[in-house]
Structure formats: C-alpha cells, structure tokens
Amino acid sequence: MIVLFLFYRQYVFILENYSFILKRHDYIFYANATLSLTPTIHCFTPASFMGIMTSYSSNRLEAKTGGINMKENMGEVICQYRQNLKMTQDDFAYRLGVTPQAVSRWERGNGLPDLSLIKGICGILHISADTLLGISDNPITENNNLQMEQEIRHNLFAEPVALEFGEALIPYVLEGYKTDYLNQKRNDLAKKYGILMPVIRLRDNLALDKSSYRILSYDYVLREAHMKLSADESDITNPYYEMLDCMVEECRKNYSQILNKQLVKTMIDNLKELYPGTADGLVPEKISYLKLTDHLRCMLEQGKSIRDLIHILEEMERELLP
C-alpha cells in the first residue's frame, strides 16, 4: 500500500494508495509504499505532526513522529511483542531472514528495518503496521498536541528543583544550555558532598520581571533575584552561569528538603551496581527507601555529609542486629 499525508483545514489525513512528497506550512511529509497493510484513513491535527522530520535513503525510513523517535519507538514495539511470544532474537531473525545483530540494533534504537521487511515483521509478531509504526497511538482529537500533553503532565506535580526566568534572560539560557556547565556542577556536588542533583526544570515565566529569575523547590521559592544585564557587547559573561551557580548553592543548602525517595533509590541503584555487597538484600528488604531517606535528611540537617553511603548503610544495618 502507498500512503499520502494530506492537509485539509486543521486536519492531516493519511490516505493510502498515493505516494509523493507534500510540502505545506514549511513541513515536509514523505509517503512511501508498504507503510500500512490494510486500507485505512488516519486523521490528525497538524499540531500532532509538529515534530515530523522524514527522510528516505537506501530503502530505509528514518522519522520522528509526534515528537517520538521512530527508531526507538519501533525498536521497543519489536522487543515487546517478540518477548511476549517467548521468541529469542535468534528465532525472530531466522524467521525474518536477517541476522540477530540486525534485530539487536533495531531493538536498541540504532537503526530501522528495510521497508520491505515491515510486512514480514508484522506477520511474525501478529501486529498491524499501525501498531509497529505507532500510528494508532495518536488519538483523533481536535487539539491532539503531544507537546502540550507532555507539558500538562509535567505541571501535575511540584518539581524538586526548578529555575524560572524572565523574558530578557531566555536567549542567555538557550545559549548557556548548549554548554556542559550544568553537568560540571552536578559532578562537583556529587564529588564534594555526595549530593545527587535532581533533574532541573528550566522554564521561562513571563510574569516575572524581564531580567529576574527565581529558584523553586516543590513550588517553594528558595531564591529570587534580578540580573543586571550589561549593554556592553564586549562583556561576554553569560547570566546563565551566575543563575546556575546560585541554583547549585541553593540545592546544597536545602538538600534536606529537596531529597526524596526517587533520588535515594537512584543512589542505591548506583551503589548496588558498583558495590553489590553493600546494599543487596538490605535496601529495600530490611531498610525501606522512606526510612533511609529520613535518615539521610536528618544527617543533612545536622550538617553531616552523606557521601560515605557505604558506611552509613553499615551503621544502619548494625542497628538492626539483635
């Protein structure tokens, strides 16, 4: 079958039995054969296709659909349905007529199968092409904006750490974010204090003064300040670095409030990977994540370091002995 992406008013229709490149509103949609096995029409709003970038090279399809990387998405689908059928990569590769290494690459998101293999993959896994390509995951709604849905999910919960900034600081943040400065600060906190900085939410806030910023933890304002922006173009100091320095310092001072079970679990997972004997069978089997989190918070409030997690666990285990 051949597919056509067609704009009509606020909708995008995917029609089969057509094949060409259609450019509209500065977005390019590429249609080619064997994308679907049954005659169907799919309807989406253009907003849901904001992230589409498609290219066709050497009989391979590479795309991003609705903000989701198709390589990763297809690989996950293949892996999931293959495992559901109790089929090894070798078995699947043999039935499809490819090498196990090729299947492994697909499932890791490092490549995509040839278009000529799509029908065979669907037949072996007993799924439709829509399922394989993730098309059926996009509901037909007038406001089907995946980016907006993701934003709503983020806004459901108060985040451990967030940096909000005014309109005038946006270009500085965008420029500074390209650097490795934030990762350097994360490493410094880990080395000096044993502090695992959570994922930082960076967002503009037009309600703030244009040159102001604030640092929040679970919606509580830790710091609010105004940046003095230099009109001298020779001044190469980026306010982004100053804001990050302040944010890291606030994280260090308020880490007892920022610390949560998810961060503690990540610490324990890393410890188990490096030193399995220190935490295996202990956390969470004997010491719950909540209890360990409370213990670490108490240490931080007393001004103690939590970097020596190995001996901290040994002391807690010793207290459990009869």
- Mapping DSSP onto H, E and C, the string for the chain reads CCEEEEEECCEEEEEECCCCEEEECCEEEECCCCCCCCCCCEEECHHHHCCCEEEEECCEEEEEECCEEHHHHHHHHHHHHHHHCCCCHHHHHHHHCCCHHHHHHHHCCCCCCEHHHHHHHHHHHCCCHHHHHCHHHCCCCCCCCHHHHHHHHHHCCCCCEEEEECHHHHHHHHHHCCCCHHHHHHHHHHHHHCCCCCCEEEEECCCCCCCEEEEEECCEEEEEEECCCCCCCCCCCCHHHHHHHHHHHHHHHCHHHHCCHHHHHHHHHHHHHHCHHHHCCCCCCCCCHHHHHHHHHHHHHCCCCCCCHHHHHHHHHHHHCC
Mean pLDDT of 22-27: 34
Question: Two tokens at 275?
Answer: 């030193």
Higher pLDDT, 17 or 77: 77
Say if residue 32 is exposed, middle or buried (CB neighbours under 10 Å; 0-12, 13-18, 19+): middle
Say if residue 69 is exposed, middle or buried (CB neighbours under 10 Å; 0-12, 13-18, 19+): middle
pLDDT digits (tens, 9 = 90+) for 237-260: 789 999 999 999 999 999 999 999
Confidence of residue 231 (pLDDT cuts 50, 70, 90): low
CA distance 250 to 208: 20
Range among 6-20, 192-206, 292-306 with highest mean pLDDT value? 292-306
Q: What is the pTM assigned to this prediction?
A: 0.55
Per-residue confidence (pLDDT) for residue 160, from 0 to 100: 93
Higher pLDDT, 176 or 230: 176
CA distance 119 to 1: 11
Average pLDDT score, the chain: 75
Per-residue confidence (pLDDT) for residue 38, from 0 to 100: 34
pLDDT above 90 (res 142):
no
pLDDT digits (tens, 9 = 90+) for 39-61: 333 333 334 333 333 332 333 33
Task: List Cβ<8 Å contacts ≥24 apart for 106-112.
Answer: 106/71, 106/74, 106/75, 106/78, 107/75, 107/76, 107/78, 107/79, 107/82, 108/75, 109/69, 109/71, 109/72, 109/75, 109/76, 110/71, 111/60, 111/71, 112/60, 112/61, 112/62, 112/70, 112/71, 112/74
Cβ-Cβ contacts under 8 Å for 210 (sequence gap 6 or more): 166, 167, 168, 169
Direct distance between the N- and C-terminal alpha carbons of the chain, in angstroms, rounded to an integer:
71
pLDDT above 70 (res 100):
yes
The gap from C-alpha 300 to its chain's centroid, in whole angstroms, comes to 30
Name the percent of the chain lying above pLDDT 90.
Answer: 37
Per-residue confidence (pLDDT) for residue 105, from 0 to 100: 87
pLDDT digits (tens, 9 = 90+) for 66-82: 434 556 678 888 998 99
CA distance 164 to 247: 11
Per-residue confidence (pLDDT) for residue 127, from 0 to 100: 86
Using alpha carbons, select from 147, 187, 149 the residue that is nearest to residue 50: 147
